[in-house]
Structure 1
Amino acid sequence: MQLFDGSHKQRRSINLGGSNARSATRDVALSKAQADRRAREQERQRQKAACSIQAFWRGRSEARIVRDRLRNRGNTYDWDYRLRRFALIFDSKLDFEELLAVLQYINSIDRNELLRMISVNTFSFYKIVTIVLKVIRNRQFEKISAAQTLRIDTENEQLLGLIVAVFGFIPHTWFHHIYESLQAFTQSFLNTSIDNKLLLKTFDSLQLAVTKPLQLRPHLSSSCLLFIYFRLNTETINLDLWTPLVDQIRIALPLKDISLFRSRLQDRELSCQDASNVFVNFMRLYPLQNIMNSQSPSSIITDWLTIVALLFLKISVVPVSHEEEDDEISLHTQEHDPYQGTILHETLLNLLSTKNLEFILTQASQTLALELATFIISLLQLLPSRRSHILMQIAIMASDSDIIKSFWKVAKQTTVYHSITTNLKISTGGGWVEIMFLMEIYSRILITMVDDEFFDSSRNPLTLDEIKEITDFLKPLSFIFWYTEANSTEGRVLGGSAVTFGQARMLTTRLIQQIHAREYVPQSPSFLSQTSSRRRFLPPDHWLLIGHDLRGFLDAVILEYRRTALEQTDEMATEYKTEIITPRLNILRNIPFLVPFDTRIEVLQTFISLDKERLHITAFQFDARQGATVRRNHLFEDAFDQLNSIGSGLKSRLSIEFIDEHGIKEMGIDGGGLTKEFITSVCKQAFHTDYGLFVETKDNLLYPNHSSLSSEPQNLAYYEFLGRVIGKAIYEGILVDAAFAPFFLLKWLGKLSYLDDLSSLDDRLYHGLIQLKQYIGDVETDFALNFTINDEEFGKSSTIELIPNGSNISVTNNNRLQYIHLVSNYRLNTQLARQSAAFVRGLSDLIDTPWLAMFNQQELQTLVGGATGAIDLVDLRNNTKYYDFADTDQFIAWFWSILAELQQPDLRKFLKFVTSVERPPLLGFKELNPPFSIRFGGSDLRRLPSASTCINLLKIPRYKTKSDLKNKIMMAIQHGEGFGLS
């Protein structure tokens, strides 16, 4: 019990449990009050909603009662009252007959009375027009039976008659709705299968409803005609009805009024489908044939071309990418057109006649450059299957006109040109379409232009100075495309034009490659200067990236490659070959000539070293070597039998053993020398024309035999193996004494050959085609050719059609370029396709395709066979090793003095005598592996000098006099090869 302690204050109650009964009671009260307020608010909202519903229902109920009361009063002759009443009571199910009566009255009164009624009953009148437009828009002719046609025909006459009657009195803001209704009505009407003779009133009234506005207010109604009414889809309509309707529209809106369309087209938004429909209908209204026959002033032609070009821009299509094709340049393509099987496709095809294209091109001027370029570029996108035909026809016309020169002048005035040449940036402004047109056409002209014509100012549309200007533009542009903008999306549209990033990059790259190929370059093999008329026409360093740190560029390329390639596993080896594409590698793959040849050779050698590092291939690799024992008199067959199956395993170190002609194994350990001897010997045997796999041109350049036997599976396997052998030579830096034809080397790069390469294969055919190309008479009559070519093999002749039904298609002045290209393509590409593909397949097993892409065909020959410049004796002496001699010996001084007295042909013989190849290494004799060496060759002074070509060793007795030394050296190199294994 608690005792009194004298304190009069009540003790505080402390609850250690933490709960407060008073606080809990307050929270509950607040929550209840909030819930009550929400409930009262919800009730007020329900009451308010109920009142709104009741008011709406009462209003509608009363309105229905009033409308019924007005409807039951019967009709009157007070048409002002009757119109107002009709506008208030109309119900489509109850008052359609009254609608017809009202329309019949309006269509019967004169203009003054109509104007009075509109002014007195403006609201009611516009309500009636709205009702009529809705009825017109919802007309469904496919649901009408033949028995109903008479009644429906009369109804349509009254409905459409209202539009004709009131069009001159309504605001222009209504035009859009009127033509929308007419468009829907026409679409349904023209889709009907009912005999049009049963709906004559409908057809006549429709013609009047569509054309009357064009006569009364053409400036306003023409825009609606184009953008609303012409959205009519013509794919399913009855053209027998549509054609006369278009004829009436043409009368109401003559050709001189075509400018009414142009002024409103640019800012209009049209979907792809709507733009397609508008284009088809516009072409029915104003076909190009009418423009050509009307002798129209240039302004009308300008308007027509502008309208078509603008509509093309609004018809979307995914541009065809020809990134890796050389090309699409095939003139007979089976590519599918995006709108094939549609009336749009048919309409586009009607534009492709030579007469039409020629007329379009005659309009080329600086003021119409954009429209003309857009027209052609869009046609190429919309009709990819006809791409080559279009380009070839235009190329023929452009070759004899100033179109190319004119468009180059236009190009130099564009923001694109100035942005590239001054700021090295891709502009988003105008000019892309004009530049792409120029590239497309000039590139096509170059395909069938031989070197003599290229350097002839009367046959080349551009002068050499203008070509230099173009390359000054293309060089930075291509660099930006492949380097600074390398990650841009292919489908990115440039400057709101019809050109995508991928298209522009492809065209730029192709044209700069074509122009570069026309120039003789110093590292090119000598066969080029002997078999073509190419010459240097640009400054020596014109193509190089002046101002760029090439050492830094090389280091960055190697870093990019190492980072990407060395991360790959063996299983991913196939993938990494083609996927390692970074900005700097893009430069080397697509526009390699911007980088010096020596730098690219260093890059290749580094790539090979990195590849060996990835595969763990070392000079001291003995356990993983691929062994082969080969007989010298069956070298190629043994090599094929033992090494063909390993595929890319040929990259590994080889261990070669030779069996001589007597069946005795030759002594020696393969430290690299025997592999070199093996590679060079296999090439010597397999590439010899007696072996039958390869044949020679008149300049002794090799290419695969095109006979049918060479396409047999066994021979194709031989070609594939030989590709690997050449790949092995490149992989190991072994030079091979074989010179290949340029058109075959192009196959290594995945490219096609053209007319200019034909001279080295068939000089007679080449000159015949040139004569055909330059002939000024009637080709069809005087040459009597068709699109076939004769093949002769084993004494039997067969006729090959170059295109389907080619035997029935004559070669004319207009299609002769196509014929010339197809003949060249057949001889240079088609006949060699399977053999070349097999060879390249084997080559790519060892040398990745992107590596080869760093070089052109001339440089590839240098890569295989060595440099073609003069032999540098100072370089050779500085990289020579001596055994049993010293550099200061009098005998060695004689030796170098004798070599210095020799002419280059004899020096080449000497080099071939000691190394098996008459050309020096690509980067000088420091790259010769093993290095050139001189060793004492014995005391018998009667012996000639000998050589071990597998190790680049010259063995020479110590002759007593300089003259003896010279005579013996000359006898040895004139005798030929000097293989003698030590």
Structure 2
Amino acid sequence: MDDLFNGPGQRRRAMNLGGTAQASQREVFEQARASRQARLEERRRQEAATQIQALWRGTLGRKRLYPELRRRVGEDIAGLDAMKCLALLPADDEALGQWSHAMCAQEDPFSLSRSPQQRSWLALMRRIEIRLLHGIAKGPMSPSSVYNARILNLLFTKLGDPGITRNLFSHLLQNDYYKLLNEALAKVGVNGKKSSILPPLASLITVPFATFPGDDEIYSACLRQCLRYIMTLPLLPNRLPIASLTEFSSRLPLSSIDMVEDFVLDLAASLNPSEKAHLLANLVTFMPPRYTALQASSLKTYLRFLSLLLSGVAPNALEPLSSSQNITIDSSWVQDDEDVLMEVKPSAPLQTISLDNKTRTRLDTLSQPGHLQSLLTATSKHKSSKSDLYSFLLLVWNVWPLRKDKIISSILASSGDGFIRELYRLHVRSSPLGKSDDVKSLKDPAVAHHWPSFLCLTDMYTQLLLTMGDDEFFASSTPVPAPASSSQRMQSNPLTIGEVISFSRQALNIALALYWGIGSNDKDKTLTSYCVPGINVTFEDVRYQATKLVQAVHARDSRKPFTPPNHWLFSTQLDMRTFVSAAVIEEQEMMDPIEQQIPSRSRRDNSHLTPRLAVLNNVPFAIPFNVRVEMFRQFVRMDMAKHDRAEFSFHSRTRAVIRRDHVSEDGFNKLGAVDLKGRVQITFVDHFGEEEAGIDGGGLFKEFFTSLCREVFDTNRGLWSSTPNNELYPSPHSFAKEPHSLEWYRFIGRILGKAMYEGILVDVAFAGFFLAKWLGKSSFMDDLASLDNELYKGLIFLKHYTGNCEDLSLTFSVNEEELGVTRIVDLIPNGRDAVVTKENRLQYIVLMCHYRLTKQIRQQSAAFFEGLSDLIDPNWLRMFNQQELQILIGGVNSAIDLEDLRANTNYGGAYSDEHPTIQTFWKVVSTFTQEQRQSLLRFATSCSRPPLLGFKELYPKFSLAPSGDDENRLPTASTCVNFLKLPMYRNERTLKQKLLQAITSGAGFNLS
């Protein structure tokens, strides 16, 4: 069949009944898509061509039309047609300037607003005023901008129709009116004060306040935007001419700031640090003249606004620590080799603020006495703003901590003692703060508004105590005539003794509650977190300030008691046994080698201490003294155990051969570098070089120590001086500061530390201001009386002087005379050129006290304390105050309890408590005066004062033994072992005569 149809040799053609030969379905779809895309592209090209043609035709049309519009503007420049042309023209500065120039020359430029064409005029003017405003912002230095600004001013002052005026200005406000004015002023710059645009521009800022009533929403809206965009401009007063500045300041409605209270509080939180600084600088320029006229609500809002703005400024951001212009004296100072710097809580600014000198100077005004006095005067008329004033003051001395004392002094100088008295009686006394020891009550938002007044009072009263003498402190408890001058009132105690007692207890409760109640979650939280806006003070700061106050009041109470019994004690809320055992365990944990890697910290940083140890280090007087002494002994025993110092371990002994006639020299050479926490075995040799008989079981060391102390504390050796009360302190002379002398101080400190470590009492009294150095404290006014009473009287005279202080010719310097040579020592940099005035005399007084009591003996005290700390942990010492330290060193300066002594006496040989001689001995001693009993105790033990916790603590025990029956023989003693050798006297008269003769003869050590 193939051949029939196709012929021979031909092949049949293949047929595809599904469509085009060899084409798949996918290929068909792709071809259709490509065809459709090609048609779309063609359509787009056609549409684009049409648009380009239309644009080109429009451009050509505008080229022909705009000249015509500009021509028509000039033909009827005051008519409606000109306004229509301006509205149709794009941003044409030339035509707009031509129109505004011409309109300014018109006698009635807005007559159309009162014509039948009013609606059309209003619609066109709404468009034109926006163009005028943008023209000013775009090129404020161009001549046309001057007329643009003038016509806008005329629009709001000459229009005459309040409704239309309101309509037009509302439109401007909706289109960034003040923001554009801000741009214009910024472009003119600080150096463009002669620019002709500035007078009308300044008027545009304030014209709404003269146009609209104070209760109008536009008025408050303008005030909000003015504060946001105008008052945040850097150096705003320097940008305006004097004439314009006067008008600007008088029109600025800052006295009505209370009407935008919510806005300004939110604004303070939203601004960046730089804007806050410039806003503060501008406010402090324009606002102070209005202080006396401010209503209570405005003053309250203003103070809150200032506080919130200041709260974003880090301490010292506006006043570097290196500044020497203002020096603050504070009881928490730390000393370096030359200068004095206040201990400031470390704080880094959130953002570095770069400020020009003029802005910085204006910001400094916030802390100046004149400005603060103006605020004090204003708030005195409006009691409701007092709390906000206290918050502001806290922030001021937080931002300028180096001026804190100057700020407080200026407040006290201007307001007298009434400020503190009112602060306590009206705000703090009745507050719930400190009424309980529950930390939850302190964090209650309901009591949050009481914190600023408490903190302000705490800071001010603590500072006041630094320069308040005891006579002034206690004067408030005795009615006295009112002083004649404000300077005298400034220095008297503003609180009665009863109020001081109540306030100090309130502060103590707060401190104790926070020592127990600050957790890791609370440590970095500020009072702002507890509903006290703007107060960036942590509860740790609160605890620190409360602690400083109670320490200052307690120091006064220790010197001259005035508080009731148990006033300072916390024992009513604590189980002392539990407290002691827990504190001992915590101290033991702190002694762990791992824990010893904790870096050294300031006294303020207690973050590494447990609550109990923090209490013992900061407010130890809350714990009974005998409890603290017991804990001290336990801490020492733990340390002994740690150093393998068990009672019978002899492997760690240090043997020292001491010549009787060179005790101090040999002691310095032999024991200056040894480990004194181990046992020290003393061997005495006489002047022939022969060893004395006896084995040192502790007694010979005590005898060595007694002889050593007698020599090294001798004031004739040059290392020590004494006060009129025979209390020792390091010599202030240059000899005492030489390296060799400092080594001696270091050695004496180690020897005294050894005595405290071993519980050996030392019959030496140290000056209170020197003991304060052991505790890391500074000394001030009252301590000076014990050192130099004449200087103290002179400073008291200066403090109360009512005349011109400059007439006294005092400078911030001291004349030091030594070996016939006089040299001048500056109390501050260039102090010899800084005159003492009424304003800075308190600073001079405190610096003078600091120099005499601290700076002159700083190196000597540091060396001594370095040696003492080799044996005694400084934290252990801080469990006591100066008076208690003296007791710890030398025993209780109180009556000798014969019953206690008799109950803790050992007898040797034939003696017993029933022996007739012993019976007679106790009968005779009972007839002795306290002075004679002290002489007996000194004769037998080398120390006239009894041990702290009674004679059970005396080691070795007081002992009595017979020394024959020869009644002509005097009693003798071995003080090294507290041993009295008493012949067997047969009658009372002989025993009393011989015993008094012996104890008053001044005889020394007797080995026999």
- Range class of TM-score, shorter chain: 0.7 to 0.9
Q: CA–CA distance in 2 between the matches of 1:350 and 1:772?
A: 28
SS in structure 2 of the partner of residue 250 of structure 1: helix
From the superposition, tell whether residues 882 and 223 of structure 1 become closer, same or farther in structure 2 (CA, over 3 Å).
same
Q: CA–CA distance in 2 between the matches of 1:461 and 1:69?
A: 87
Q: CA–CA distance in 2 between the matches of 1:546 and 1:876?
A: 31
Partner of residue 954 from structure 2, selected from 905, 920, 928 = 928
Residue matched to 1:597:
625
From the superposition, tell whether residues 693 and 112 of structure 1 become closer, same or farther in structure 2 (CA, over 3 Å).
same
- Once the two structures are overlaid, the 10-residue window that deviates more, 351-360 or 736-745, is 351-360
Q: Is it true that 1:615 corresponds to 2:643 in the alignment?
A: yes
Q: CA–CA distance in 2 between the matches of 1:503 and 1:576?
A: 14
CA contact (8 A) 1:70 1:85 kept: no
Q: CA deviation at 1:384?
A: 2.4
Q: Is it true that 1:360 corresponds to 2:375 in the alignment?
A: yes
Q: CA deviation at 1:586?
A: 0.8
CA contact (8 A) 1:703 1:741 kept: yes
Residue matched to 1:210:
205
Q: CA–CA distance in 2 between the matches of 1:850 and 1:49?
A: 89
Q: Is it true that 1:643 corresponds to 2:671 in the alignment?
A: yes
Aligned amino acid, residue 442 of structure 1: Y
Partner of residue 317 from structure 1, selected from 313, 317, 324 = 313
Q: CA–CA distance in 1 between the matches of 2:937 and 2:612?
A: 37
Q: Is it true that 1:158 corresponds to 2:148 in the alignment?
A: yes
Q: Can you give the 5+ residue segments of structure 2 that lack an aligned partner in the other structure?
A: 1-31, 157-164, 322-326, 481-491
Q: Is it true that 1:500 corresponds to 2:519 in the alignment?
A: no
From the superposition, tell whether residues 406 and 312 of structure 1 become closer, same or farther in structure 2 (CA, over 3 Å).
closer
Q: CA–CA distance in 2 between the matches of 1:242 and 1:452?
A: 57
CA contact (8 A) 1:419 1:426 kept: no
Please list, as runs of the form range in 1=range in 2, the aligned pairs for 1:616-695 lying within 5 A after superposition. 616-646=644-674, 649-695=675-721
Aligned amino acid, residue 375 of structure 2: I
Q: CA–CA distance in 2 between the matches of 1:596 and 1:539?
A: 11
CA contact (8 A) 2:423 2:453 kept: no
Q: CA–CA distance in 2 between the matches of 1:887 and 1:767?
A: 56
Q: Is it true that 1:188 corresponds to 2:193 in the alignment?
A: no
Q: Is it true that 1:411 corresponds to 2:428 in the alignment?
A: yes
Q: CA–CA distance in 2 between the matches of 1:56 and 1:913?
A: 122
Residue matched to 1:37:
none
Aligned amino acid, residue 245 of structure 2: V
Residue matched to 1:374:
391
Residue matched to 2:168:
170
Q: Is it true that 1:802 corresponds to 2:835 in the alignment?
A: no
Q: CA deviation at 1:399?
A: 4.0
Q: CA deviation at 1:244?
A: 4.7
Q: CA–CA distance in 2 between the matches of 1:398 and 1:682?
A: 56
Aligned amino acid, residue 573 of structure 2: G
Q: CA deviation at 1:679?
A: 2.5
SS in structure 2 of the partner of residue 656 of structure 1: strand
Residue matched to 2:724:
698
Q: CA deviation at 1:869?
A: 2.1
Residue matched to 2:907:
882
Q: CA deviation at 1:559?
A: 1.8
SS in structure 1 of the partner of residue 226 of structure 2: helix
Residue matched to 2:936:
910
Aligned amino acid, residue 684 of structure 1: R
Q: Is it true that 1:773 corresponds to 2:774 in the alignment?
A: no
SS in structure 2 of the partner of residue 703 of structure 1: strand
Residue matched to 1:249:
248
Deviation string for 1:182-230 (max 9, x for gaps)?
Answer: 1122122124x56x54x31x22331232222221136322232223211
From the superposition, tell whether residues 131 and 417 of structure 1 become closer, same or farther in structure 2 (CA, over 3 Å).
farther
Q: CA deviation at 1:112?
A: 5.4
From the superposition, tell whether residues 565 and 63 of structure 1 become closer, same or farther in structure 2 (CA, over 3 Å).
farther
Q: CA–CA distance in 2 between the matches of 1:738 and 1:584?
A: 32
Q: CA deviation at 1:937?
A: 2.5
Please list, as runs of the form range in 1=range in 2, the aligned pairs for 1:570-585 lying within 5 A after superposition. 581-585=609-613
Q: CA–CA distance in 2 between the matches of 1:573 and 1:497?
A: 33
Partner of residue 820 from structure 1, selected from 834, 845, 849 = 845
CA contact (8 A) 2:959 2:979 kept: yes
Partner of residue 523 from structure 2, selected from 489, 500, 514 = 489
CA contact (8 A) 2:436 2:509 kept: no
Q: CA–CA distance in 2 between the matches of 1:101 and 1:439?
A: 67
Q: CA–CA distance in 1 between the matches of 2:612 and 2:43?
A: 76
Q: How many residues align?
A: 903
From the superposition, tell whether residues 54 and 924 of structure 1 become closer, same or farther in structure 2 (CA, over 3 Å).
farther
From the superposition, tell whether residues 665 and 212 of structure 1 become closer, same or farther in structure 2 (CA, over 3 Å).
same
CA contact (8 A) 1:701 1:740 kept: yes
Q: CA–CA distance in 2 between the matches of 1:923 and 1:312?
A: 53
Q: CA–CA distance in 1 between the matches of 2:782 and 2:42?
A: 90
Q: CA–CA distance in 1 between the matches of 2:415 and 2:632?
A: 41
Q: Is it true that 1:386 corresponds to 2:403 in the alignment?
A: yes
Q: CA–CA distance in 1 between the matches of 2:262 and 2:599?
A: 59
Partner of residue 757 from structure 1, selected from 783, 802, 806 = 783
Q: CA deviation at 1:752?
A: 1.1
Q: CA deviation at 1:456?
A: 0.7
Q: CA–CA distance in 2 between the matches of 1:129 and 1:631?
A: 105
CA contact (8 A) 2:699 2:977 kept: yes
Please list, as runs of the form range in 1=range in 2, the aligned pairs for 1:291-302 lying within 5 A after superposition. 291=290, 296-297=292-293, 299=294
Residue matched to 2:275:
274
- Once the two structures are overlaid, the 10-residue window that deviates more, 169-178 or 673-682, is 169-178
Please list, as runs of the form range in 1=range in 2, the aligned pairs for 1:783-802 lying within 5 A after superposition. 783-802=808-827
Q: Is it true that 1:958 corresponds to 2:973 in the alignment?
A: no
Q: CA–CA distance in 1 between the matches of 2:48 and 2:150?
A: 36
Deviation string for 1:292-312 (max 9, x for gaps)?
Answer: 8xxx44x35884575255223
Residue matched to 1:606:
634
CA contact (8 A) 1:67 1:89 kept: no
CA contact (8 A) 2:768 2:882 kept: yes
Q: CA deviation at 1:333?
A: 6.5
SS in structure 2 of the partner of residue 800 of structure 1: strand
From the superposition, tell whether residues 569 and 467 of structure 1 become closer, same or farther in structure 2 (CA, over 3 Å).
closer
Aligned amino acid, residue 471 of structure 1: S
From the superposition, tell whether residues 420 and 564 of structure 1 become closer, same or farther in structure 2 (CA, over 3 Å).
closer
From the superposition, tell whether residues 87 and 827 of structure 1 become closer, same or farther in structure 2 (CA, over 3 Å).
same
Aligned amino acid, residue 615 of structure 1: H
Q: Can you give the 5+ residue segments of structure 1 that lack an aligned partner in the other structure?
A: 1-39, 142-148, 521-527, 529-533
Q: CA deviation at 1:451?
A: 0.8
Q: Is it true that 1:748 corresponds to 2:811 in the alignment?
A: no
SS in structure 1 of the partner of residue 442 of structure 2: coil
Q: Is it true that 1:865 corresponds to 2:870 in the alignment?
A: no
Residue matched to 1:348:
363
CA contact (8 A) 2:315 2:398 kept: yes
Residue matched to 1:547:
573
TM-score normalized by the length of structure 2:
0.81
Residue matched to 2:233:
232
Deviation string for 1:473-503 (max 9, x for gaps)?
Answer: 1111011222211643256235224350243
- Once the two structures are overlaid, the 10-residue window that deviates more, 635-644 or 704-713, is 635-644
Q: Is it true that 1:512 corresponds to 2:550 in the alignment?
A: yes
CA contact (8 A) 1:392 1:817 kept: yes
CA contact (8 A) 1:317 1:381 kept: no
Q: CA–CA distance in 2 between the matches of 1:702 and 1:569?
A: 36
Q: CA deviation at 1:682?
A: 1.7
Cα RMSD of the aligned pairs, angstroms, is 4.1
Q: CA–CA distance in 2 between the matches of 1:573 and 1:208?
A: 62
Residue matched to 2:880:
855
SS in structure 2 of the partner of residue 798 of structure 1: strand
Q: CA–CA distance in 2 between the matches of 1:654 and 1:118?
A: 111
TM-score normalized by the length of structure 1:
0.83
Residue matched to 1:556:
582
From the superposition, tell whether residues 672 and 802 of structure 1 become closer, same or farther in structure 2 (CA, over 3 Å).
same
From the superposition, tell whether residues 538 and 418 of structure 1 become closer, same or farther in structure 2 (CA, over 3 Å).
closer
Q: CA deviation at 1:788?
A: 3.0
Aligned amino acid, residue 317 of structure 1: V
SS in structure 2 of the partner of residue 698 of structure 1: coil
Q: CA–CA distance in 2 between the matches of 1:386 and 1:576?
A: 22
Q: CA deviation at 1:100?
A: 4.7
Q: CA deviation at 1:169?
A: 2.7
From the superposition, tell whether residues 123 and 664 of structure 1 become closer, same or farther in structure 2 (CA, over 3 Å).
farther
